[in-house]
Chain A
Amino acid sequence: MIVGQQKPLTEIKAEVAPFSKLLILGCGTCVKTCFAGGEDEVATLASSLRLAFKKDGGQITIEELTVERQCEDEFIKEAAAAIARNDAVLSLACGAGVQMVANRYAKSPVLPGVNTTFIGILEKQGLFTEKCLGCGDCVLDVFAGICPVSRCSKKLMNGPCGGSHGGKCEVNPDTDCAWQLIIDRSKDFGQLGRLSTYVPPKDWRTSNAGGPRKLVREDHII
């Protein structure tokens, strides 16, 4: 899922200050799971902003709405009436959701309330870790299901480097050495030998280095 973190309240307050009627629009998918932009976070943020403005003698009217997903047009259509009633939208979706709303509702300012952080997993309740960079050319088959692109601090395709100590990375001792994990896991299913094959430098043309990417599925286009 996409993992995000709500922006600091002071930053959000400055963003929305020019508007007197605000819609806080939550997203019920990824950012809900990581406690950044679901229904609960929308309600908590709305209450915090009302208190913050009232404390300073200002006034703001806040409407709250959470749609299933902000990255799909079908779902953000539901927000049309609420968006029309307000001066601006504070979206608690990832960057994709914010832009989707902005694209559909061209006359409404759409502001981000969340910093989109990474593609990751829920490792345990309250702990999210990065697992994928979206490089566009998955190599997990070569590396025993552990991604050196997103999990090795140096993105080494032929590791490990000399900085692995006790299974931890020299860049950050809190980080597991991805190459230690790759070797351990390869041993577990008897494929350590595969790692002796040289892996050529990664071709980054499939990543976002060349601008925004597009995926066309002709079989689904009518």
Chain B
Amino acid sequence: MNQLINDAVMREQPPNITGKVLKETLDDGMPFDNSMKEVVETDNKAGFKPKITVFHCFNALSSTAGADSNEYDISAVRMPCSSMTREVFLLRAFEAGADAVVVMVCPEGDCRYMEGNIRAGKRVARVKKILDEIGLDGKRLNIYPVPEKDPNTIDRIIKQTVSDLAGLGPNPAS
């Protein structure tokens, strides 16, 4: 079951990213590309403050309050189960200006409604394809299983998302 969630992108411990480190770290361990560094610095100079929309099952995560920061804006959508993740909600988050959308679900076997996280994983995978087709890049949308009530996970995931956005830049359709 987790494979389905993983297919849509699940990473191991995201790196700890702050300040200068942000500019020197790219996802997937790829060596830093100087041209990309320029983009990151340009974006920072231009004041690119990432907007991240988080859809989360409240059984997996009660709130996103622990991830607040001045470096990015977070909008949270609490759901009683991740099965309520619908394609159109994810797309509308991008229409509303999100640079990245993150879906947080219960881990394998932990969904109270049996298969909510599987359904969410499949819908995320479909919307990633739509985003690729549009040219927005499916990497802007990711799904992560979150161990119940783990206060550190949200922080790690958001930092990884911010790191990804350093390479992707702002949402070109916002």
Measuring CB to CB, which residues of chain A are less than 8 angstroms from any residue of chain B?
8-10, 40, 43-44, 47-48, 50-52, 54-56
Expressed in whole angstroms, the Cα–Cα distance for A6 and B63 within the complex equals 37
Q: Which residues of A contact B95 (CB under 8 A)?
A: 47, 50-51, 54
Interface secondary structure of B, over-half rule: helix
B88 touches A51 (CB 8 A): no
Interface stretch, picked from B35-43, B77-85, B132-140, is B132-140
Of the A-B pairs whose beta carbons lie under 8 Å apart in the complex, a sample of 10, sorted by A's number, is: A10-B133, A40-B86, A44-B87, A44-B91, A48-B91, A48-B130, A51-B91, A52-B135, A55-B135, A55-B172
Contact of B173 among A8, A9, A40, A51 (CB under 8 A): A51
Chain B residue with the shortest CB-CB distance to A8:
B133
Q: Which residues of A contact B133 (CB under 8 A)?
A: 8-10, 48, 52
List of 10 A-B pairs having minimum Cβ-Cβ separation, nearest first: A47-B91, A55-B173, A54-B173, A43-B88, A52-B134, A51-B173, A44-B88, A44-B87, A9-B133, A55-B172
A47 touches B92 (CB 8 A): yes
Q: Which residues of B contact A47 (CB under 8 A)?
A: 88, 91-92, 95
Count A-B pairs with CB separation below 8 Å.
Answer: 41
Expressed in whole angstroms, the Cα–Cα distance for A222 and B111 within the complex equals 57
Expressed in whole angstroms, the Cα–Cα distance for A55 and B172 within the complex equals 5
Chain B residue with the shortest CB-CB distance to A9:
B133
Report the minimum CB–CB distance from B125 to chain A (whole Å): 13
Report the minimum CB–CB distance from B60 to chain A (whole Å): 24
**Is B58's CB within 8 Å of the partner chain A?**
no
B86 touches A51 (CB 8 A): no
Report the minimum CB–CB distance from A35 to chain B (whole Å): 10
Expressed in whole angstroms, the Cα–Cα distance for A50 and B130 within the complex equals 12
| Given A8-B133, A9-B134; 6 other pairs, CB 8 A cutoff | A44-B87, A47-B91, A47-B95, A52-B133, A55-B135, A55-B172
A51 touches B87 (CB 8 A): no
Report the minimum CB–CB distance from A6 to chain B (whole Å): 11
Question: Which of B86, B134, B136, B173 has most chain A Cβ within 10 Å?
Answer: B134
In chain B, residues 61-110, which have Cβ atoms closer than 8 Å to a Cβ of chain A? 86-88, 91-92, 94-95
Expressed in whole angstroms, the Cα–Cα distance for A203 and B168 within the complex equals 61
Q: Which residues of B contact A55 (CB under 8 A)?
A: 134-136, 172-173
Q: Which residues of B contact A56 (CB under 8 A)?
A: 135
Expressed in whole angstroms, the Cα–Cα distance for A50 and B87 within the complex equals 14
Q: Which residues of B contact A51 (CB under 8 A)?
A: 91, 94-95, 134, 136, 173
Q: Which residues of B contact A9 (CB under 8 A)?
A: 130, 133-134
Report the minimum CB–CB distance from B106 to chain A (whole Å): 21
Report the minimum CB–CB distance from A82 to chain B (whole Å): 19
Report the minimum CB–CB distance from A7 to chain B (whole Å): 12
Chain A residue with the shortest CB-CB distance to B131:
A51
Expressed in whole angstroms, the Cα–Cα distance for A49 and B109 within the complex equals 36
Q: Which residues of A contact B88 (CB under 8 A)?
A: 40, 43-44, 47
Q: Which residues of A contact B173 (CB under 8 A)?
A: 51-52, 54-55
Chain A residue with the shortest CB-CB distance to B92:
A47
Report the minimum CB–CB distance from B161 to chain A (whole Å): 19
Report the minimum CB–CB distance from A20 to chain B (whole Å): 17
Report the minimum CB–CB distance from A31 to chain B (whole Å): 16
Q: Which residues of A contact B92 (CB under 8 A)?
A: 47
Q: Which residues of A contact B130 (CB under 8 A)?
A: 9, 44, 48
